Amino acid sequence: MAGENKTLDAIAENVQALVDFFVRRKRFFAPLLAILTAAIAVPLVVLFSLPTILSWFSAPLDMSKDLYAVNRPIAFTFLDQQGREVGHRGA
């Protein structure tokens, strides 16, 4: 029982010393913590908001058309005088 009290007292003393250390050096740690937080938070916010931002600038999808045909180039079929296919250009 007495050994547990000494251990808890030592831990409490170490925690208090750590708190005192940070309080004395607050002028150094506060700006450092703010810079580190911003360096991590800003890229994360940009990364997670990128799909939303890109969707604002994208063209709306025409739901009446087949999505496979939307981005395909125009296809041309060349016929001879008898109507037979002699060539094909495009998709």
Residue position matching structure tokens 């799909």 = 51
Contact 75, 85 (CB under 8 A): no
List, for the chain, all residue ranges whose pLDDT scores fall below the cut of 70. Answer: 1-4, 67, 69-70, 91
Tell me what pLDDT residue 91 has.
66
CA dihedral of residues 33, 38, 43, 48 (deg, nearest 10)? 100
Which tens digits make up the pLDDT trace of 35-48?
Answer: 999 999 999 999 99
Q: How far apart are CA 73 and CA 27, in angstroms?
A: 63
Tell me what pLDDT residue 36 has.
95
Tell me what pLDDT residue 50 has.
96
Domain residue spans of the chain: 2-89
Contact 22, 32 (CB under 8 A): no
